[in-house]
């Protein structure tokens, strides 16, 4: 009783807001759903030959995704079109914010009330595969006639966990450099800077021409994505490919983080940039350049800001940028019913082919044939699409995202806020990350 | 987990009403016969049943189940949930485990928050209630204004203040700058400023609730006592010390308890305003437990942490009860 009265409705509200996952989780756990996981995982039998059509009885597919932003309307449109072309398949969409998505999907699938098919980020596939939430889709890839050459090796390989494929890529989305065209013009910069020297030169010009701090260095999102990009640019790797240890405290890591901290020290960024404020300030023309995900395109377009998008400049010694990818998956839940399984495959195939329309959501279609289509070449993100070979993805290691949030992200924030020197912050975070990764390996049986 | 503590003072208020109802129904002949036959063993239990069922199903049951979880390496998505005995607890006390440092840092964060928010939330609402209890024009408006923030959800409050308190684009720093005060305080990314922000926002948000409880308590103090005190020649501060405070004691115990528990449960404010920044310094215990259990799916660890937090809170509750115990003169 005291708890209800006490926390001003916040404990209760928490329950509704985030706690859903938790409440569901405990309830499910009580139902002892764990055991069925293994049965289902092995239940991925390949059924009748796949021809891209569904001719069984009417079936309802539960489709979950996290497209809550400017990408949402495009996904709705695609689902509607699919329904019209496939009247026998009813798609029930459930859109959950990504932040909660990865808590809810395992809980819901364990209870048998989750999605049959859905979209998730590439770096979450391994985790959910290890948890037996999703099942291999090798046969889908095969029947769709998809192979590495249709995508890029990086995005294709990152969907493989323990020798089996778990996702069919829909798109890739990387970090990009957004800049304010008016302010660039005022500073006399005609071309987006491409390397460390020209970038620093541009920042200097911008600072004096616009009398501002031109490049705010965030301490929260997307600071860790900037760090990962720079780390790869300095030819380092954040983690061992096999998930045995963290390596982001290498010289490359220290160089990357030092560069980021120096942006603040040199006065190109104010100190203490809090959550989201660099983006809000960019939208309000208070700064000239910001690095953010290309999925922000539609939001920036809506704000009527005179902006352009260019690839992240090469600060290190090689061209590289952090990227992620939305992948379609099938859950163990769908494998119990052949019709659902078949319908899910038809759905994924259809979506994958229609990914040119998805480019409207600000993403870069993963399929090569689609990516090179005229429709994509005309988009704002076209310059990013051209850089797809430079995109780097996190290795498929289960539980990695969670490790990263507890270690790498904290170290990056500490260094940018000036609480710790980059090298010290990274080395203590990396040793902790290695410990967590070792525990994960034991847990998931790597 | 904390239910054992709070209902007592509240029950004190309802006891009287129950007595009245009983005595009024007692005059009814059929009712008295029924109570005569049942009053032996079953009646009290029958009356308790509705609450007891809920209490067992939603408090005792989960508490026992939670303890069972805390003895296992428990991840509900994995088939194997090995029994590990007290390992999960031991990890919280051995400095080389990965959970040791963040857990105790989060306990410390909760402690710091309680240390500052509880006294403020006991004193400021009392002052507000005293003012609200006096007679003046626009009193109802004044009461509504102080209570208003309390009806907002934590998400509204935290997101609102996150933007107001932003170091670089926030209104607060801009206003401070306009007044000639430092305008670069990092309210959300550096301690101790972040604590000032979190405590300040919480006090602003919840003082209305405590004030209303105090107000009810103040209105319960018979006017004759004040009169008597005046006759005895007591001045205002004396009558506050010898009439108001003793009269408020049961209410004070309740408010203290509820405020301690609310502060110990602080989560939404730091989750939404600071995200635990800087580093994990403002990541509170509940925040860390939620992350461990619901994001990392390490429910065994999370359950063990919850139990430890519960024990600490129970000790605190006992201390508070002892402090407010009925003293024999």
**Residue B14: pLDDT over 70:** no
B111-168: per-residue pLDDT in tens?
999 999 999 999 999 999 999 998 888 888 988 999 999 999 999 999 999 999 999 9
pLDDT at A378: 86
B26 and B109, same structural domain?
no
Cα(B77)–Cα(B297) distance, rounded to whole angstroms? 8
B314 and B169, same structural domain?
yes
B265 and B131, same structural domain?
yes
Inter-chain residue contact B77 with A399, CB threshold 8 Å: no
Domain CATH number, residue B179? 1.10.3720.10
The reply to whether B73 falls in a domain is: no
pLDDT at B80: 82
B168 and B313, same structural domain?
yes
Place of tokens 């319908």: A343
User: Which tokens sit at A136?
Assistant: 């291999």
The reply to whether B78 falls in a domain is: no
The reply to whether B84 falls in a domain is: no
pLDDT at A377: 86
Banded pLDDT at B290 (limits 50, 70, 90): very high
Residues 6+ apart with CB under 8 A from B185: B167, B173, B176, B193
Q: How confident is the model over B4-19, as a mean pLDDT? A: 41
Q: Is the ipTM of this complex over 0.85?
A: no
pLDDT at A56: 84
B212 and B311, same structural domain?
yes
Count of domains for chain B: 2
Contacts of B153 in chain A (CB under 8 A): 9-10, 13
The reply to whether B47 falls in a domain is: no
B217 and B296, same structural domain?
yes
Contact A67, A101 (CB under 8 A): no
The reply to whether B282 falls in a domain is: yes
Residues 6+ apart with CB under 8 A from B11: none
Inter-chain residue contact A443 with B268, CB threshold 8 Å: no
Cα(A11)–Cα(B3) distance, rounded to whole angstroms? 14
H or E stretch at A308: strand A307-310
| Nearest beta carbon to residue A5 from set B62, B258, B278 | B258
B274 and B154, same structural domain?
yes
Q: Delineate the domains of chain A, giving CATH numbers in brackets.
A: 36-172+324-392 (3.40.190.10), 174-322+397-444 (3.40.190.10)
The reply to whether B138 falls in a domain is: yes
B32-44: per-residue pLDDT in tens?
455 445 556 888 8
| Nearest beta carbon to residue B2 from set A2, A286, A402 | A2
B138 and B277, same structural domain?
yes
A231-288: per-residue pLDDT in tens?
999 999 999 999 999 999 999 999 999 999 999 999 999 999 988 899 999 999 999 9
Is B310 an 8 Å CB contact of chain A?
A: no
Inter-chain residue contact A2 with B257, CB threshold 8 Å: yes
Q: Report CA torsion sign: A110, A112, A114, A117.
A: positive
| Nearest beta carbon to residue B79 from set A3, A37, A271 | A37
**Residue A13: pLDDT over 60:** no
B161-214: per-residue pLDDT in tens?
999 999 999 999 999 999 999 988 999 999 899 999 999 999 999 999 999 999
- Helices then strands, counting H and E runs in chain B, come out as 16, 0
A32-45: per-residue pLDDT in tens?
333 333 333 343 44
B46-76: per-residue pLDDT in tens?
999 999 999 999 999 999 999 999 999 998 8
The reply to whether B24 falls in a domain is: yes
The reply to whether B160 falls in a domain is: yes
Q: Which domain holds residue B24?
A: 1-33
Is B311 an 8 Å CB contact of chain A?
A: no
């Amino acid at each position: 009783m005291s708890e209800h009265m006490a926390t001003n409705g916040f404990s209760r509200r928490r329950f509704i807001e985030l706690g859903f996952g938790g409440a569901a989780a405990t309830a499910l756990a009580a139902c002892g759903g764990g055991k069925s996981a293994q049965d289902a995982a092995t239940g991925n039998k390949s059924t009748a030959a796949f021809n891209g059509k569904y001719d069984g009885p009417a079936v309802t597919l539960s489709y979950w995704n996290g497209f809550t932003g400017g990408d949402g309307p495009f996904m709705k449109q695609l689902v509607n079109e699919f329904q019209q072309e496939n009247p026998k398949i009813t798609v029930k969409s459930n859109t959950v914010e990504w932040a909660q998505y990865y808590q809810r999907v395992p809980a819901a699938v364990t209870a048998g009330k989750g999605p049959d098919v859905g979209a998730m980020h590439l770096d979450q596939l391994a985790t959910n595969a290890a948890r037996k939430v999703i099942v291999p889709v090798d046969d889908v890839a095969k029947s769709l006639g998809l192979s590495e050459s249709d995508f890029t090796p990086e995005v294709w390989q990152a969907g493989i966990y323990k020798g089996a494929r778990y996702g069919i890529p829909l798109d890739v989305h990387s970090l990009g450099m957004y800049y304010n065209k008016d302010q660039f013009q005022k500073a006399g910069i005609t071309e987006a800077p491409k390397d460390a020297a020209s970038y620093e030169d541009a920042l200097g010009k911008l600072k004096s021409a616009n009398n501002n701090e031109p490049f705010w260095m965030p301490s929260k999102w997307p600071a860790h994505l900037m760090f990962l990009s720079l780390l790869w640019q300095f030819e380092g790797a954040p983690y061992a490919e096999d998930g045995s240890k963290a390596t982001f405290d290498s010289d490359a890591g220290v160089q990357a983080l030092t560069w980021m901290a120096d942006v603040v020290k040199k006065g190109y960024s104010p100190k203490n940039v809090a959550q989201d404020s660099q983006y809000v300030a960019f939208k309000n023309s208070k700064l000239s350049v910001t690095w953010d995900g290309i999925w922000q395109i539609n939001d920036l377009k809506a704000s009527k800001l005179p902006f352009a998008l260019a690839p992240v400049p090469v600060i290190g010694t090689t061209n590289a940028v952090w990227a992620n990818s939305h992948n379609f998956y099938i859950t163990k839940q769908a494998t119990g019913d052949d019709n659902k399984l078949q319908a899910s495959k038809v759905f994924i195939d259809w979506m994958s082919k229609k990914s040119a329309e998805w480019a409207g959501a600000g993403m870069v279609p993963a399929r090569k044939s689609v990516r090179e289509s005229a429709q994509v070449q005309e988009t704002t993100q076209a310059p990013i699409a051209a850089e797809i070979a430079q995109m780097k993805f996190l290795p498929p290691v289960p539980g990695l995202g969670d490790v990263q949030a507890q270690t790498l992200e904290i170290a990056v924030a500490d260094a940018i806020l000036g609480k710790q020197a980059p090298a010290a912050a990274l080395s203590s975070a990396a040793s902790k990350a290695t410990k967590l990764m070792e525990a994960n390996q034991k847990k998931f049986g790597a | 987990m904390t239910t054992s503590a709070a209902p007592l003072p509240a029950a004190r208020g309802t006891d009287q009403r129950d007595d009245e109802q009983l005595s009024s129904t007692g005059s009814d002949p059929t009712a008295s016969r029924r109570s005569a036959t049942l009053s032996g063993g079953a009646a009290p239990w029958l009356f308790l049943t509705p609450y007891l069922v809920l209490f067992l199903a939603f408090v005792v049951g989960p508490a026992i189940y939670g303890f069972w979880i805390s003895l296992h390496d428990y991840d509900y998505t994995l088939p194997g949930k090995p029994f590990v005995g007290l390992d999960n607890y031991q990890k919280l006390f051995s400095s080389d485990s990965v959970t040791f440092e963040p857990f105790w840092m989060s306990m410390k964060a909760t402690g710091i928050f309680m240390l500052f928010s509880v006294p403020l939330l006991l004193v400021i609402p009392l002052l507000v209630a005293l003012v609200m209890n006096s007679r003046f024009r626009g009193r109802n408006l004044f009461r509504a204004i102080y209570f208003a923030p309390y009806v907002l959800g934590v998400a509204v409050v935290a997101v609102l203040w996150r933007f107001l308190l932003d170091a670089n684009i926030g209104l607060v720093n801009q206003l401070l700058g306009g007044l000639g005060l430092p305008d670069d305080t990092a309210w959300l990314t550096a301690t101790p400023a972040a604590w000032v922000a979190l405590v300040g926002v919480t006090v602003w948000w919840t003082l209305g609730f405590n004030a209303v409880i105090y107000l009810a308590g103040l209105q319960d103090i018979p006017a004759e006592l004040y009169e008597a005190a005046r006759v005895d020649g007591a001045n205002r501060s004396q009558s506050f010390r010898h009439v108001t405070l003793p009269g408020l004691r049961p209410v004070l115990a309740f408010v203290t308890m509820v405020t301690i528990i609310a502060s110990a449960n602080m989560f939404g404010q730091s989750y939404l305003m600071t995200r635990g920044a800087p580093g994990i310094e403002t990541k509170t215990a509940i925040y860390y437990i939620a992350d461990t259990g619901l994001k990392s799916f390490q429910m065994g660890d999370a359950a063990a942490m919850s139990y430890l937090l519960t024990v600490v809170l129970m000790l605190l509750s006992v201390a508070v009860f002892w402090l407010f115990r009925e003293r024999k003169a």
